[in-house]
Structure 1
Amino acid sequence: MILGKCPYCEGSVLSKKINVKGKNIKLYSCENAKKEYDESEQYVFTADSTCRFRVYSNAFLRWNKRSFSEYEMKKLLQDEQTIVRLHGRSGSGEYFKYVIPDLEYGISILWDEEVEKA
Structure 2
Amino acid sequence: MILGKCPYCDGNVISKKINVKGKNIKLYSCENAKKEYDESEQYVFTADSTCRFRVYSNAFLRWNKRSFSENEMKNLLNNEQIIVRLHGKAGTKEYYKYVITDLEYGVSVLWDEEIEERA
The two structures have a TM-score, normalised by structure 1, of 0.98
Structure 2 residue runs without a partner (length 5+): none
Structure 2 partner of 1:113: 113
CA distance in 1, matches of 2:61, 2:34: 24
**CA RMSD across the alignment:** 0.9
Q: Secondary structure at the match of 1:91?
A: coil
Alignment of 1:95-106 (within 5 A): 95-106=95-106
Provide the residue aligned with 1:51 in structure 2: 51
Residue-pair matches, total: 118
Q: For residue 71 of structure 2, what is the aligned residue in structure 1?
A: 71
1:51-85 C-alpha deviation (Å, 9 max, x unpaired): 00000000000000000000100000000001110
Indicate the percent of aligned positions where both proteins have the same amino acid.
84
Distance 2:35 2:114 in 1: 36
Structure 1 counterpart of 2:56, one-letter code = Y
Which 4+ residue blocks in structure 1 deviate beyond 4 angstroms?
none
One-letter amino acid of the counterpart of residue 58, structure 1: N
**Which residue identity does 2:30 align to in structure 1?**
C
Gaps of 5+ in 1: none
Structure 2: how far apart are the matches of 1:46 and 1:116? Answer: 43
User: Which residue is 1:16 aligned to?
Assistant: 16
Output the CA distance in 1 between the equivalents of 2:54 and 2:103. Answer: 9
Task: Name the TM-score, length of structure 2 as normaliser.
Answer: 0.97
Report what 1:25 is aligned to.
Answer: 25
CA distance in 1 between partners of 2:48 and 2:68 (Å):
28
